Amino acid sequence: MTATTAFREGMRRTNGAPVLLAGMCILTLLLALPLALALRAMLEAHLGSSLVAEQVASRADYQWWQEFLFQAAGLGTTFVPSIIGFGAVLRNLDALLDNREMATTIAGVTTGWLLIWSFLSGGVIDRLARSRRTRAHHFFAAAGVHFWRFLRLGIVALLVYSFLFGWVHPWLFDDLFGRLTGDLTVERTALLIRLAGYVIFGAVLIFFNVVFDYARFRIVVEDRRSAIGAIAASWGFFRRHFARVIALYLLNGAAFAVLAAAYGLLSPGAPGAGVTMWIVLLLGQAYIVGRHYLKLVFYASQTSLLQSALAHADYTAAPAIEWPDSPAAESIANANPIGP
């Protein structure tokens, strides 16, 4: 299977799992919503009965915004002007790539989201690997079965990512970048060095990301129990199918770039009032749905690439989980004189 075929297959499988997509979107929304409500209360309290609220309700009022930020604490400090429109996308990418600190509340919800997603991803991958409908109980059973394996894998991943962001990133972008550009007088050259830094760090990051991703897929598809064994098997797969794996990763990356660019082009920026406000907000949510969709395509396409390379294409080792009947059903069955 080529990378393009795998990508198309990933789209096909994701298209066939609309409930999964909706569930993931709702999960993210539900996790983010309490903080949004908390922020809403802060904004409302700050505006009180002021006339300024009328302007703030109808447009972006930068002068009020700065006043709010001056008085804000905790979560309120994350309500910054650069969340508007495409700025939000750049801000988040910048925060990730430049390893910026998060507000405590945001770090908390991010950790929660990662844990829940880790739990659910067993079910998600299982669903996408089977490429056919599964019931809710099957989905959650798969999630439960794989969670502890994923947790062990996650600990290894956490150690690796902590090393990358805690040591390699500062070394690369603070120490080395500082040394290489310290005497530069041409900004363009420094920019090229910075970009080279992103490429190097990105390559290392992608390498580990790919290894951990395929380890996760192998755990589900091959019903592996050992996280270390899965990582080793993933590494073997990566080595054997290097070009296709990377090409698929880049295809997925390109799909995200296209989505982000489309949002950047279409997003009108700050929400105004009335219909335009709803258009802006809905466009934002459409973009968020698109991101979820691509996340699932990412999973599905990589899973299908892995499956295509196994002895039996589309093979999923773990049998469909059969739940035991309830004690009541069992006793009824046992009481049946005709019984089997």
With H, G, I as helix, E, B as strand and everything else as coil, classify residue 262: helix
Binding mask 265-304 for another protein (x = CB under 8 A): ----xxx-x---x--xx--xx-xx--xx--x---------
Among 57, 203, 257, 329, which residue interacts with another protein (rule: CB under 8 A)? Answer: 57
**Rounded to an integer, what distance in angstroms lies between the CA atom of residue 231 and that of residue 29?**
32
Q: Which of 4, 20, 252, 235 is nearest to 130 (CA)?
A: 20
Among 19, 22, 26, 33, which residue interacts with another protein (rule: CB under 8 A)? Answer: 33
Q: Which of 324, 282, 303, 340 is nearest to 123 (CA)?
A: 303
Query: Least distance in Å: CB of 226 to another protein?
Result: 19
Q: What DSSP element (H or E) covers 234?
A: helix 227-240
Q: Which of 75, 84, 78, 67 is nearest to 41 (CA)?
A: 75
Q: Does 35 bind another protein (CB under 8 A)?
A: yes
Query: Least distance in Å: CB of 269 to another protein?
Result: 4
Count CB-CB contacts under 10 A for residue 127.
Answer: 26
Q: Does 26 bind another protein (CB under 8 A)?
A: no
Tell me, rounded to whole angstroms, the distance of Cα 170 from its chain centroid: 24
Q: How far is CA 51 from CA 48, 55, 66, in A?
A: 9, 8, 17
Closer to another protein by CB, 1 or 127: give it. Answer: 127
Residue showing tokens 């002068």: 63
Among 110, 151, 240, 331, which residue interacts with another protein (rule: CB under 8 A)? Answer: 110
Closer to another protein by CB, 140 or 308: give it. Answer: 140
* Residues of span 150-209 touching another protein by CB under 8 A: 154, 157, 161, 173, 177, 181-188, 190-191, 194, 198, 209
Closer to another protein by CB, 35 or 309: give it. Answer: 35
Question: What number of chain residues touch another protein (CB under 8 A)?
Answer: 95
Closer to another protein by CB, 23 or 87: give it. Answer: 87
Query: Least distance in Å: CB of 20 to another protein?
Result: 15
213: its two tokens? 């991703």
274 CB contacts (<8 Å, ≥6 apart)? none
33: its two tokens? 């919503």
Tell me, rounded to whole angstroms, the distance of Cα 301 from its chain centroid: 15
Query: Least distance in Å: CB of 173 to another protein?
Result: 7
Binding mask 207-236 for another protein (x = CB under 8 A): --x---------------------------
Closer to another protein by CB, 35 or 321: give it. Answer: 35
